[in-house]
Structure 1
């Protein structure tokens, strides 16, 4: 009997855990091991500290100040409507409303962790500074380390850059609708998301190339002022117009996401012998930024497809290039890691090539 395939996942965030579970479910005779420095239950150093609510449905309205807005990338949204001119706020030239959801990564991660263990998966706490530190050469390594791919030896993807978003939680259970405002560049300048807990998450335009992982007091003041301007619904009905929104503040924090110039990386390559043992497939799956919360399930399915085709090619030297390309077919993904036209997730179809990253 041949040895079971050993698959190593690097990273235990929502992306890495979903990939690990999807691969282990599809291949129960394989051994999937997950290695991460930060494990579920640890205080998060960067991402996911904002705590979006787990599948809370709410009515969401978006306003755009630009003359033209980007073409839609999904076929339909629940209860979608285009706002009429008399429904727009001051400064907005376009608007729309639809039913949306907010997601709490902590709850999703805990569920994924439990199911992964039940399927036979294993989790190890460890720091991988270079891919060659993985002593027992696996059949494949799946890289889901986000911004960490900048510094891990054997990857060192310098196209990754930090994207910092500072947010506040305001205790306002009476506000049950979401809002977002987009500037001339179609980038959000302010957003408010009602959470299932009764809190409202408010945030503003992201800052790039900013590694500061703690909330800045001056930014908190700006966010409170924006909240007053854009969301008067946050003021209690029995309070006056000068009500101090800071009295609703229950938490402040920030996330640092890994954005990648040219878009997310989702591809499979054969590792060169200078990095790790020859014949090991490396699947790169990172660079989505905050869109990871939208695409993590689709990304995991794409990774499992890539992995299955790569393992099959290794076993079947007669597998034609056409068969391989067919096995790796995936829809397109754009530079922001968003869904493409009518697709759950989009990723480029990539052939398996020799060489490094």
Structure 2
């Protein structure tokens, strides 16, 4: 097989997770990643660095979302336990989550089966207007550092010396770099809306605004899932006391600029959720906007055959890319099993 036998289009957390999964299965040396934006960039069009990021109950209750959540949580916890290299910027953190409306029974049942140290909070202890709450051990992630770390690992011989090429694709066909390219993983994020050859009408951006602050006394993750809003406090591992405060989930909104009134709302809501934020030590480092790559009906992970070539679509995770991405990557690479087998056989000829 040639170096560009397998191409990953997109270098956000979804594309990076696919690259890691391929590397683990021995295909790293046949992979090339092409993307307009790479880890380290800070463009509004590059979502992953702006994420909280953590494992939470923010995802939907459909079967795929529940399965990807479970896989992501279980695998990340195992990575931390085993102290594997990929888990450098992952950390176990105490977490409390509240819902203003009762989650679906399937979601509650699923969470009780795998979340570590899970406690369902008695109704008598819930804040006013909260219908359901849990405490458990979650995973928090230093999103920008984690993405850069994965890129660095993938560039090393042990992972396949995967090359990253900065290139903007205007059509899906651009991902087929040469006649050698037989398999493409389409991890294009928000560009799935406009990319020729994909143009998925079910996709839309979900705007979020967050604050990056210094708050060294914050050691816990806490979230409140409301009707039309999300409030969250997420400490960043290995960041010298940095914390993400949020936020917003504005469907179909792609306004790129920070809004001062939203900054004030975030500070008020997170202070009410975690009063330690009102102790005077919080220093605002910056406010940023990110556009989550969302999709009606949930993420798309499926195979498409184009002549004698295969595309594995893997996009539309919305705000769950860091928690669901590993499970999605496993499914995506599994879908390519026959193509990978054929490529492997050719490489031995």
TM-score interval for Structure 1 and Structure 2 normalised by the shorter chain:
0.7 to 0.9
Contiguous gaps of at least 5 residues in structure 2: 54-88
Q: 2:104: which partner in 1?
A: 70
Q: Aligned to 1:279, which of 291, 296, 308?
A: 308
- Distance in 2 between residues matched to 1:193 and 1:315, nearest whole Å: 42
Matched, 1:248 2:286: no
- Distance in 1 between residues matched to 2:218 and 2:4, nearest whole Å: 51
CA separation of 1:89 and 1:155: change in aligned 2, threshold 3 A: same
Q: 2:136: which partner in 1?
A: 98
Give 1:188 shift.
Answer: 5.1
8 Å CA contact 1:10–1:145 kept in 2: the answer is: yes
Q: 2:69: which partner in 1?
A: none
Of stretches 70-79 and 278-287 in structure 1, the one that deviates more from structure 2 is 70-79
How many residues are aligned here?
Answer: 298
Give 1:116 shift.
Answer: 1.9
CA separation of 1:314 and 1:122: change in aligned 2, threshold 3 A: closer
Q: Secondary structure at the match of 2:124?
A: helix
Give 1:28 shift.
Answer: 4.3
CA separation of 1:190 and 1:279: change in aligned 2, threshold 3 A: same
Give 1:293 shift.
Answer: 0.4
CA separation of 1:21 and 1:192: change in aligned 2, threshold 3 A: closer
- Distance in 1 between residues matched to 2:343 and 2:99, nearest whole Å: 50
Give 1:87 shift.
Answer: 1.8
Q: Secondary structure at the match of 1:57?
A: strand
- Distance in 2 between residues matched to 1:301 and 1:32, nearest whole Å: 16
8 Å CA contact 1:7–1:30 kept in 2: the answer is: no
Q: Which protein, 1 or 2, shows the higher relative CO under an 8 Å CA cutoff with sep ≥ 6?
A: 2
8 Å CA contact 1:24–1:31 kept in 2: the answer is: no
TM-score by length of 1: 0.76
CA separation of 1:182 and 1:123: change in aligned 2, threshold 3 A: closer
TM-score by length of 2: 0.77
Give 1:29 shift.
Answer: 8.4
Structure whose residues are more often helix by fraction = 2
CA RMSD between the two structures: 2.5
Q: Deviations over 1:177-214 (max 9, x none)?
A: 2222233x4x6531112233313321134001111122
CA separation of 1:201 and 1:28: change in aligned 2, threshold 3 A: closer
Q: Aligned to 2:328, which of 293, 299, 322?
A: 299
Q: Which residues of 2 match residues 53-202 of structure 1 at below 5 A?
A: 54-66=89-101, 68-71=102-105, 72=108, 73-74=110-111, 75-117=113-155, 118=157, 119-133=160-174, 134-137=176-179, 138-183=181-226, 185=227, 189-196=230-237, 197=239, 198-202=241-245
Q: 1:50: which partner in 2?
A: 50
Contiguous gaps of at least 5 residues in structure 1: 240-244, 272-277, 317-357
Q: Secondary structure at the match of 2:336?
A: helix
Q: Which residues of 2 match residues 234-273 of structure 1 at below 5 A?
A: 234-236=277-279, 248-271=283-306
8 Å CA contact 1:162–1:257 kept in 2: the answer is: yes
Q: Deviations over 1:32-84 (max 9, x none)?
A: 11111112222233413435473233221122333x33232331212211112
- Distance in 2 between residues matched to 1:303 and 1:93, nearest whole Å: 36
Q: Secondary structure at the match of 2:50?
A: coil
Give 1:312 shift.
Answer: 4.1
- Distance in 1 between residues matched to 2:147 and 2:230, nearest whole Å: 29
Give 1:286 shift.
Answer: 0.4
**Pair member with larger Rg:** 1
Q: 2:78: which partner in 1?
A: none
